[in-house]
Amino acid sequence: MNKCAYCHNEIHEPHPVVAGKNQDSLVCCSESCVEKVLAFYNFFDRTKIFFFIGLTLFMILLFGSVFLLSLKNMWLGSLLMGSSFGLLGLLVILFPFATPQTFDLLGIQKTISVTRLLGLFVLALGPLLTYWLRL
């Protein structure tokens, strides 16, 4: 059976929608799901640049922390490592973008929830890494 692109429920009456800059063709179960799909794709199109800037900053902090840790500067290296993972967790919570395959498998609504939950774990990993690397 066909599943709704947003809530992933079975579709009894299809509501087609074309969303995103790539003009992806999706099918929803209701008009409310169509509106939510369009809102999510618009959010993605508006904010993906901030997501990529955040990922770039994460990578810079991560490589800087590895460099400092290799120089045996444990205090600053561990602080940068924890900060980089804290930033990554915050990025994933604020911008819950996953792969298209995950959206197909779970639907947009559940994928956003799972992605934000993983972001919380990564956010919590930041201070734990800082503490652990200082030992």
Question: What are the pLDDT digits (tens) for 86-117?
Answer: 999 999 999 999 998 999 999 999 999 999 99
Q: Give the SS3 label for residue 123.
A: helix
> In the 3-class helix/strand/coil scheme, how is 50-85 assigned residue by residue?
HHHHHHHHHHHHHHHHHHHHHCCCHHHHHHHHHHHH
Which pLDDT value is given to residue 1? 56
Calculate mean pLDDT across residues 71-78. 92
pTM across the whole model: 0.88
Alpha carbon distance, N-terminus to C-terminus of the chain: 54
The sign of the torsion formed by the CA atoms of 39, 45, 50, 52 equals: positive
Answer yes or no: is pLDDT of 134 > 70.
Answer: yes
User: Looking at residue 22, what DSSP letter applies?
Assistant: T
